[in-house]
Amino acid sequence: MEPTDAELIAAVLQGDATRFEPLIAKYSPRVFATARRYARRESEVEDIVQEVWFKAFQKLSSFRGEAPFEHWLMRLAVRTCYDFLRQHQRRREATFSELSDPENDWLDQFVAAPEEARDDAAAARELIERVLEMLPPAARLVITLLEIEDRSVKEIAELTGWSVPLVKVRAFRARAEMRKCLERIAQEKYL
Amino acid sequence: MNLVDLKKKLIAAARRHPPVDDVPYGFEKRVMTRLVSLPRPDEWTLCVRALWFGASVCAAIALLMAVWFFAPVSEPDTPSFSQDLEQTILATAGDGESIW
């Protein structure tokens, strides 16, 4: 029978660091999926996930076991991703004139017949990635958690460590920022 | 261009394509190798760090108190609370005298 998370954690805290490996193997897929929402390059994704596991190892004694280990780990993961976004605020000043041909075609199709522009197209996915990269870190995090992952304000507050009113304020600002980005697309492409 | 619809389409596109959860081969081994090689601070180091932190906080508080203590205090333009109280009580007494 496989040891439970609580047993593995207890063993690690007693000094047997090798018992940490099954936890890494078990939860890394979830952490990688989270990190890939905020970083594009695979080397950056791997750096984020490694950072999450280093922090988890160093702070393991602060895990009280009241909630599942996965919840505690995902809080660490989201906060590490936010730190990454703040440290890598690049391309914010980029313009939408750099849109690729498929992205331009998708936008043209959307303008001509919005209902026919497919949301499963790769170009749409590239475009939303581009828009998210233009957002400030807090806005990107909130839009991702609230709109894309469909999480509640309370869940976001728990994941980020922000208060519920702060999440609401940041969500309001994030939507406004996103609207501004989309307005820029429209202006630069069609005016 | 309808920006509300555009936003909905783009968000829907992001939802339709959740990121993959692939883990690079041997990732947990690499992390474990680095974790084991990380220097772990001993109890004395932690204790000394905590003492230094406490000392710096105390110094900051002492500095603030010194600034507050030696800073020149300007006299307030408005009358003090005791003067206000005295005026109020005497005003009532004055009213009483006029009645009697």
**Are A117 and A188 found together in one domain?**
yes
If one counts the domains in chain B, the total is 1
Distance CA A97, CA A189 (A): 7
Q: Measured between CB atoms, which of B9, B34, B38 is closest to A124?
A: B9
Cβ A124–B10 below 8 Å, yes or no?
A: yes
- Does residue B16 carry a pLDDT above 60? yes
* Average pLDDT value for chain B: 82
- Residue B65 maps to a domain: yes
> So what's the pLDDT on residue A137?
95
- Residue B26 maps to a domain: no
Distance CA A82, CA A71 (A): 17
**Are A43 and A105 found together in one domain?**
no
**Are A182 and A101 found together in one domain?**
yes
**Are A75 and A114 found together in one domain?**
no
Which of A26, A56, A88 lies at the terminal end of a domain, its last residue? A88
Q: Are B20 and A33 in contact (CB under 8 A)?
A: yes
Which of A43, A58, A88 lies at the terminal end of a domain, its last residue? A88
**Token pair recorded at residue A139:** 């806005």
Q: Is the dihedral of CA B86, B88, B89, B92 positive or negative?
A: positive
> Domain limits at B45?
41-70
Window 9-48 of B: residues touching A by CB (8 A cutoff) are 9-24, 27-32, 34-36, 38
> So what's the pLDDT on residue B78?
64
- Residue B99 maps to a domain: no
- Does residue B57 carry a pLDDT above 60? yes
Which of A48, A64, A88 lies at the terminal end of a domain, its last residue? A88
Report the half-sphere exposure of A90 (CA within 13 A, side-chain side). Answer: 6
Residue whose tokens read 């895990």:
A63
> So what's the pLDDT on residue A36?
95
Looking at beta carbons, which residues of chain A come within 8 Å of B23?
28-29, 32
> So what's the pLDDT on residue B94?
60
- Residue B76 maps to a domain: no
If one counts the domains in chain A, the total is 2
Least CA distance to A117: which residue of chain B? B9
**Are A26 and A47 found together in one domain?**
yes
- Does residue B44 carry a pLDDT above 70? yes
- Residue B59 maps to a domain: yes
Check residues B99 and A22 and name the one with the higher pLDDT. A22
Q: Are A28 and B23 in contact (CB under 8 A)?
A: yes
**Are A76 and A102 found together in one domain?**
no
Q: Measured between CB atoms, which of A30, A121, A148 is closest to B15?
A: A148
Q: Are B35 and A49 in contact (CB under 8 A)?
A: no
**Are A81 and A98 found together in one domain?**
no
**Are A64 and A106 found together in one domain?**
no
**Helical segments of A36-121, H only:** 42-58, 69-87, 101-112
> So what's the pLDDT on residue A168?
96
Distance CA A101, CA A122 (A): 12
Domain at A48, CATH number: 1.10.1740.10
> So what's the pLDDT on residue B53?
93
- Residue B13 maps to a domain: no
- Summarize the confidence of residues B5-17 as an average pLDDT: 90
Least CA distance to A26: which residue of chain B? B28
Per DSSP, A37 falls in state: T
Domain at A142, CATH number: 1.10.10.10
> Domain limits at A99?
92-191
**Are A79 and A97 found together in one domain?**
no
Q: Measured between CB atoms, which of A37, A131, A182 is closest to B19?
A: A37
Check residues A109 and B58 and name the one with the higher pLDDT. B58
**Are A99 and A178 found together in one domain?**
yes
**Are A108 and A44 found together in one domain?**
no
Neighbours of B50 (CB within 10 A): 10
| pLDDT tens sequence for chain A (191 residues) | 788 999 999 999 988 888 999 999 999 999 999 999 999 899 999 999 999 999 999 999 888 888 899 999 999 999 999 999 999 886 555 555 678 888 888 888 888 887 777 777 788 888 899 899 989 999 999 999 999 999 999 999 999 999 999 999 999 999 999 999 998 888 877 76
- Residue B87 maps to a domain: no
- Residue B47 maps to a domain: yes
> So what's the pLDDT on residue A97?
63
Distance CA A102, CA A121 (A): 9
> So what's the pLDDT on residue A91?
56
Cβ A46–B24 below 8 Å, yes or no?
A: yes
**Are A64 and A107 found together in one domain?**
no
State the pTM of this model: 0.76
